[in-house]
Structure 1
Amino acid sequence: MTQTTIKFSLSRRRKIIFTILVVLIALLVWHFWPAAGSRGGEAQMQGPGGPGGPGMRHGLTTPVHAGDVTTADVPIYLTALGTVIPNATVTVTSRVDGQLTHVFFTEGQKVEAGQLLAQIDPRSYQATLAQYQGDLNQNQALLKSAELTLARYRKLFAQDSLSRQDLDSQIATVGQYSGVIKADQAQIAAAKLNIDFARITSPISGRVGLRLVDAGNMVHSSDTTGIVTVTQTQPAAVTFSVPQNNIPTLLKALHNDKSLAATAFDQDGSTALAQGSVRFISNQIDTSTGSVEMKALFANQDEVLYPNQFVNLRLQVGTLKQAVVIPAQALQLSSDGSFVWLINKDHTVTRKAVQTGPALGDTQQAVLSGLAAGDRVVTEGIDRLSSGSKVSIITAAGMNAAGDAPAAPADNMNAAGGSATQAVPGKNTQAASGTGKEK
């Protein structure tokens, strides 16, 4: 009897323990089933290729950013590497011989045309001038005497008291003194010019370089080194070469007394230094390079262009009127060429091949064919797309305030008119974390 009671008690305990275990397992399964279902739904939506990959269920959408296809006037640019050259460079030399007594400029100074740069001792030329002036006075007195004599000879000849030969001789004497006076006047002018040449002035406006001769040295008109070099930097010129296939486009403007707008950039091509224009083109092609040389002029008021500086020159050779323009980030490259993802009216995308034109700044790109104004193209989220994929367009209102991250795809899809992601029945999921919590 006792053994039967003990066996019954053990069997009852086992049943109670088994029942408790079954209840605990059921509770655990019930508690974790919503999160597992949510994660499973997410995995099914993303598929093996991530969001929007090959494993995406039919009817689910991919959130993307979109840009509008518009029209605008797009300038056509021609770029070239150029060298800044001074518009004029003059080596200032002495035109007379003498000792350099004064230097009136500072190296690197900006000077104006006609400004005094140096002075040569003019005393020898002043003495020569005084001598010529004395000779002139003497010959003028002789001429006066000869003219009075000639007047008397004319009266005597009229009275038949003087021979014709004497009259003609006196006329010749007057002419001789007149010629001497003109020679004296020419010598005086030359002496005055030498005195002016002793004052060495700048022939152009610009900046002087290093002083080549110091005060106290003898300078000569035959010297080739000069005293200083003056470089004109306002305006400045940039010489560059372009391929010969661009000549027809350039000649249409330059041979009709027009100019082409030009912009000089630094060596990196990131900073614009000056705005100018091109008016000159060489009259022949360089056969060794197949290019033609051109020159652009820049006012260079702030002197940012320096002689012998290398610059990147951008030349506007034309304008595409009302060209189709897309956001630059929408353009994609492949082995087949350029393409974009075109958003259809049913919120599906199609891979569209396009022919690109010139860029419009850093943010827009001209398209010559393949698109029309009013179309919409994908700008972000491109790596998750395939032809026929359904997309939802994320707008500024659908961005997270915290970090500008896309909001829940379901909300965006509803706003765009697409279908929302289905949640697990009976449970709500948080869009931010994707984990389900019981309510």
Structure 2
Amino acid sequence: MNFKSRTHLFLALIVLLSLGGGTWYWQHQRAKAAPVKDVLVKVFQASEVTQAQLQALSGRIEMSGVLIASETATLRSKTAGTLLRLNVAEGQTVQKGQILAEVDVRDLSSRTEEREAALSSAQRAYQLSLSQHKANQDLSRQGFISETALASSQANLAANLAQLKAAESAAMAHSKQVADAAITAPFAGVVARRLVNAGEKISQEQEVLQLLNPARLEFKAMVDAAASQFLKPGLKMPVQFEGVSQAVMLRLDRMGPGNDAGSRALPVYLTLEQASLPPMLRPGLMGMAQYAYALSKEGLTLPITAVQEEGGKSIVWVIQEGVLKRQTVTTGMKDSQGQRIYILDGLKTTDAVLALRFEGLKEGTKVEVKR
């Protein structure tokens, strides 16, 4: 390679090195000049952050329920046969002792004369044997008949007496069976349901009608077992019924002795205070009863808006060292206004808590509170 060729090669290397160094320097300067991406900071106002307060709340119990008739009856047929007449319709008012339905008992009526004849025959046989026995007693005292004949007379009298009692019992049972063909109202009320129709074949003890007394109503509601400790018979509380403008004052009459398996609710029964029922109240009307009471025990409380339900758990959003954290808490009862709630576990008085519900919060988000 001559001198001229070596010179050209050297110059080419210098150019390549210059281009590479320039490219590196340009990229380095561009990287330095690129803006740094800001870290997201969530800003809250001081009014949106709170702390748990130690205080005693007034409690409130809400109980939803339905107005029911306390006096009801399911009327059954006491005899089998064809339902001859059904004299009432659903919703119809009936009086005590009124005949509501009748079963066809013509086959029973045809045997009435037979029962009466059997009873009459038994009565005559008994009277005859009684007269004969008295005569035999006189003859025995005079020595005209033996003791054996007198004993036979006594046995005949006893047999006829037994037959008479059997005939009387059969006649009474037959008369009752005939009388049972008529189904009567046990009290004044309203027909709630007709369970069969006229002309149908019915069996003995089959349900025919349901009757209720609308003048004797009570409000049946369910209350949480934990809240039932604050209730006792005699307490008065307002009940707001659907479609009724004003609340009706009721008195707690009694509480159920136990709850159903798998349920935390107990039945309670409230009765009307008024001597006469308001005309708008009727069985089946839904309502909500409320009772407010004072709680003497202090505890940590939060605004009800600070507590959220997620996956069956109660959670609050806590700010710790400038970062959002989802905190699971155990809640207690609400106050009577429904504004604050007891926090039984999971929170300290020093914890900063979001007082309101916000959408789209994520755990670990940096937070700034503007004072």
- The TM-score range, normalised by the shorter chain, is 0.5 to 0.7
- Taking the TM superposition and a 5 Å limit, the aligned residue runs for 1:144-159 are 144-159=127-142
Match of 1:344 in 2: none
User: What whole-Å deviation, never above 9, does each CA across 1:191-228 have from its counterpart, x for those lacking one?
Assistant: 211121111112343321454433333332154xx333
Aligned-pair Cα RMSD in Å: 3.5
Deviation at 1:141, TM superposition (A): 0.9
- Pick aligned residue for 2:249 from 261, 272, 275: 275
Distance 2:201 2:111 in 1: 19
Q: How does 1:287-326 map to 2 (within 5 A)?
A: 288-298=262-272, 301-302=277-278, 304-315=280-291
- Decide which of 117, 136, 139 is 1:134's aligned counterpart: 117
CA contact (8 A) 2:293 2:336 kept: no
- Which AA in structure 1 matches 2:271? L
SS at 2:160's partner residue? Answer: helix
How many residue pairs end up in the alignment?
Answer: 246
Corresponding position of 1:407: none
SS at match of 2:96: coil
C-alpha displacement of 1:174: 0.9
CA distance in 1, matches of 2:123, 2:145: 26
One-letter code aligned to 2:268: M
Amino acid corresponding to residue 312 of structure 1 in structure 2: M
Deviation at 1:76, TM superposition (A): 8.5
Question: What SS class does the counterpart of residue 174 from structure 1 fall into?
Answer: helix
Correspondence for 1:237: 218
CA contact (8 A) 2:77 2:183 kept: yes
Corresponding residue to 1:249 among 227, 230, 235: 230
Does the CA-based 8 Å contact 1:85-1:236 persist in structure 2? yes
SS state at 1:227 partner: strand
Question: What is the aligned partner in structure 1 of residue 182 from structure 2?
Answer: 199
Q: 1:140 to 1:317 in 2, by over 3 A?
A: farther
Q: Give 3-state SS (helix, strand or coil) of 1:171's partner.
A: helix
> Equivalents in 1 of 2:260, 2:89: separation in Å?
41
Q: Distance in 1 between matches of 2:64 and 2:78?
A: 40
Contact 2:71–2:216, Cα closer than 8 Å, also in 1: no
| Unaligned 5+ runs, structure 2 | 1-57, 297-302, 307-333, 338-371
Q: Is residue 87–residue 100 contact of structure 2 (8 Å, CA) maintained in 1? A: yes
Which of 229, 232, 235 is the equivalent residue of 1:260?
A: 235
Closer, same or farther in 2 for the Cα pair 1:288/1:107, shift >3 Å?
Answer: closer
Aligned mates of 2:219, 2:253 — CA distance in 1: 11
Q: Normalising by the residue count of structure 2, what TM-score does the alignment of the two structures yield?
A: 0.57
Give the conservation status (yes or no) of the 8 Å contact 2:242–2:287: yes
Please give the secondary structure, in 1, of the residue aligned with 2:125: helix
Q: How does 1:383-422 map to 2 (within 5 A)?
A: none
TM-superposition CA deviations, 1:207-257 (whole Å, max 9, x none): 21454433333332154xx33322333212222222334444324xx3xxx
Equivalent-residue separation in structure 2 for 1:166 and 1:272 (angstroms): 89
Alignment of 1:37-436 (within 5 A): 78-221=61-204, 223=206, 226-251=207-232, 254=233, 259-267=234-242, 271-272=245-246, 274-285=248-259, 288-298=262-272, 301-302=277-278, 304-315=280-291
**8 Å CA contact 1:260, 1:316 repeated in 2:** no
Cα deviation 1:259-301 (Å, max 9, x = unaligned): 2224321248x83354332221122355744343211123773
Are residues 183 and 274 of structure 1, via their aligned partners in 2, closer, same or farther at CA, if it must alter by over 3 Å?
farther
Q: Within 1, Cα distance between the matches of 2:205 and 2:224?
A: 44
Shift of 1:97: 2.0
Deviation at 1:312, TM superposition (A): 0.5
Partner SS for 2:148 = helix
TM-score by length of 1: 0.49
- The one-character-per-residue Cα deviations of 1:44-98 (angstroms, maximum 9, x if unpaired) are xxxxxxxxxxxxxxxxxxxxxxxxxxxxxxx996431112233244333321122
Is the deviation greater in 93-102 or in 214-223? 214-223
Do 2:242 and 2:285's aligned partners in 1 also have CA atoms closer than 8 Å?
Answer: no
Offset at residue 357 of structure 1 (A): 8.0
Following superposition, the deviation at residue 171 of structure 1 comes to: 0.8
Q: 1:335 to 1:170 in 2, by over 3 A?
A: closer
Tell me: CA distance 1:288–1:120, structure 2 relative to 1, closer, same or farther (3 Å).
Answer: closer
